[in-house]
Amino acid sequence: MRVGLIVDSACDLPYDFARKHDLFVLPVTAIIDGQTYTDKHDPVRTQEFYLSGLLDKAHEAETRAFTVEQIHDLLMEQVVTEFDVAICETVTKNRSQIFQNATEAMNSVMAHYEGARKAAGRDGKFSMRVIDSKQIFAGQGLLAAHTLRLIGQNVSKNALRQEVESFTDKIYTCVIPRDLHYIRERARRRGDKNVSALAAFLGKALNITPVIFGRGVEGKPVVKTRHFDMAVEKVMNYAAARVDAGLLTPYVSLSCGLSWTDIEDLPGLNRLRDACERHGVELLLSQMGITSAIYVGPGSICLALAAEPHAFNDFQ
């Protein structure tokens, strides 16, 4: 039985890691200054976007989920014909239409897949499950890495689904937005009042760089600093200390809306690397994808790990 994992383009993971594990990426449509692009999480294309400045707040940018029909066609052509079981983990349904569209596409596929499998020479039935990751960006990446680990352990289909669905509530995420005004403007355009209100609240003080921390997308500001590097160092200290205390899966996911040169210069990154190496934890370091960068803004950082219940300040 061949089990495949599907994620969408909001899921941040290192490209080599995704390719090694045959991860199927469901594209997202990006619309920038009226021009349409397809975000397939290609690293070369992503780097071109960063260098071009198209992700900066001076440009009109938004993302749109693939339609039900587009997702249906991709599943029929590239998933049904390759896998016997498919798990699709989407960005939190509170922030995107992807979960709903993928679910409708799945229902259609399940009613019509036999012909496609027969033509591809695959025997047996096909099954699929769409799961709301309740995560964004690096949090999605962490859930995907944990899922792939379970698949590698040959966990049964039902046990895999149950473990993945319960594990989403154990993921803690730190987000450092580089530009609060960017977040507020993007939130206003997509009608996301929660994010807009948060940015407005934080933006009352000038030059504030917050650390937003919590489980999944239910984050709240736990630190407010005057400098981006100070916020980054606090997050790196937290992550390194949490790794020392123990994790529920041997991964830390870190995605950065920066050039690779700037990523390597992040304060505290080597301390986190050392902690991961001591404990056999894999640091999944990636450049934030186009979809993620449009949402939270270039220059931002997202870190995720899974652990027992705790507070950010417990590990400072």
Average pLDDT, the chain: 90
- pLDDT beyond 90 at 1: no
Residue 193 is predicted with a pLDDT of 55
| 182-211 per-position pLDDT tens digit | 666 666 665 665 554 555 555 555 568 889
Q: How far apart are CA 225 and CA 222, in angstroms?
A: 10
Domain ranges in the chain are 3-168, 170-315
| 127-139 per-position pLDDT tens digit | 999 999 999 999 9
| CATH number 3.40.1180.10 is the correct assignment for the domain at 170-315 | no
| 77-136 per-position pLDDT tens digit | 999 999 999 999 999 998 899 999 999 999 999 999 999 999 999 999 999 999 999 999
Q: How far apart are CA 300 and CA 143, in angstroms?
A: 20
Cα separations (Å) of 50 from 12, 282, 299?
15, 26, 10
Residue with the bigger pLDDT between 42 and 231: it is 231
Which helix (H) or strand (E) covers residue 194, if one does? Answer: helix 193-202
Which class is 3-168 in CATH? Answer: alpha beta
- pLDDT beyond 90 at 53: no
Q: Are strands 301-306 and 171-176 parallel, antiparallel or unpaired?
A: antiparallel
